[in-house]
Structure 1
Amino acid sequence: MILPFRRRALLGAALALPAVAPRLAVAQPTNPENTLVMELKDGEVRILMLPELAPRHVERIRTLTRQGFYNGTAFHRVIEGFMAQGGDPTGTGTGGSPLPNLPAEFSPPSRARFLRGTCGMARTQDPNTANSQFFIMFAPAPFLDGQYTIWGRVVSGMDAVDKIKRGVGQSGIVPPPPDRIRRMRVAADQG
């Protein structure tokens, strides 16, 4: 059957997609220096850090991880259908590292969005107060786009993130005992 040119071109493009789609579906090669391995009670989570979006925040996460700062810290605020927040050594949502706060590195929505698996930095009302606390998105949240720093995205193990113990009410404060990061390391640091 001979199709009109336009339909042939579209059909040809559609037939070519299966050859392209598998390449797109294959996980990007990751740089071990920009990959975090987070051990949770329900499995391992791998996070690709994005220094091209937030170089200072990625360096902070990498530094604190190498210091063992995140090991044993709680997910103190977990809201069903929204996000899981951790990285506070006090487990209250008011603590941080001894390092100074970071200036915002917000990305325009055309460059990065808060989607399922996106990792962002928590902060106060002041945009330049990110320190050590971070959150992982359970679902898209476009109202955060351009308002919080995006520093990474989960590339495997989202099923373990989905099993983090949820908090209560709209505040999402987790009753004791909260789930904790058992261990977090930079993939380049084997062992």
Structure 2
Amino acid sequence: MQLKAFLAPASIAALMFFAPSPAFADGEGSFHAPSDSGPSTSSQAVYRINGAAVSSLPQDQRRLSVQGRLSGDAMADGRLSFTHHSSLGLSHFTARVTCLEFVDGRAEVSGTITKGKTAAGVVLDGKMVAFTLNMGGEQTFTLPQIGPGAANCGGGRAETVPVTQAGFRIR
């Protein structure tokens, strides 16, 4: 219990180094590239998403951190991590980003879990995971879609949670 009490303030303090972004303005409309796609004929621009967000609700706290890059050659890479503290315990995982899509103030991020487990002890290693980050106005993120339903850039589940601390930036 003491470790849990220490980790929450320390993790939240670390998130203060990431600046929140109120919106994503993209003049082109949409950018998409699964990591296994071939060369792109689009410009050689690089798009990045960085940040960490906390969603604190009564008896429930979720933290999502994403560092991802979509290069002009249509390759997506990066890392994400997710933790969920609830009355059931701690669920957590890290993943390698395999796909990014940016559409109308929204980012869809998917990847393969490299290490993690649920509060019930279910091992998540090797499973696909997907999130949708809503960047316009008040930021939110979806609950993770894990397993067979998590297609490359398919987005997270329908349920969203508000970002109550820190946030994400796209550049």
Specify which structure has the higher proportion of strand.
Answer: 2
Specify which structure has the higher proportion of helix.
Answer: 1
> Which has the larger Rg?
1
Which structure has more relative contact order (CA 8 Å, sep 6+)? It is: 1
